[in-house]
Copies of this chain bind each other. A is one copy, B any other.
Amino acid sequence: MLNVETLSEGSVTQQVNGRLVIETEGQGFTEITDAVSRWVFGTGILNGLLTVFCRHTSASLTIQENADPDVRRDLLTALDRLAPREADYVHSTEGPDDMPAHIRTMLTDVTLSIPVVEGQLVLGTWQGIYLVEHRDGSQTRDLIFHLIGA
């Protein structure tokens, strides 16, 4: 029988909001793991929950392999196959990359929540947090963070 083991218990006293602005340069992944980890550690909150929120509908978030960059290349190819640029979209006024960008956003994540234990995100060894830009050109992307705990 599966049993969840309790690791720690504690009070809840504090919350902090943060913001990260990222200039992207066309379709691709920007890793934010280090920036987020440093900020979480700097808040002094040792145990709690971090939430990352992406304020866009043509860029999104994902947690993916941080080792071989070829994985990210294949993920972009997969998104291109799942939301092809050359499909016959009704919404086409913002360019051929816009509607595929909305679909790719829908299939990935606009928000991620990650527990924090002893000042560290509980990410696995191979997990990195990424902003994924789905548009062709340069864009300014705005992420909001919420951290709650003690």
Contacts and interface: CB of A to CB of B under 8 A. Distances in A.
A116 to B, nearest CB: 8
- At the interface, is chain A mostly helix, strand, loop or mixed? mixed
Interface residues of A, number: 84
Contacts of A48: 15, 146, 148
A28 B5 CA distance: 23
Nearest to A36: B4
B14 A12 contact: yes
A17 interface: yes
Nearest to A82: B82
A136 to B, nearest CB: 17
A148 to B, nearest CB: 6
B17 A8 contact: yes
A144 B47 CA distance: 13
A83 B73 contact: no
B51 A123 contact: no
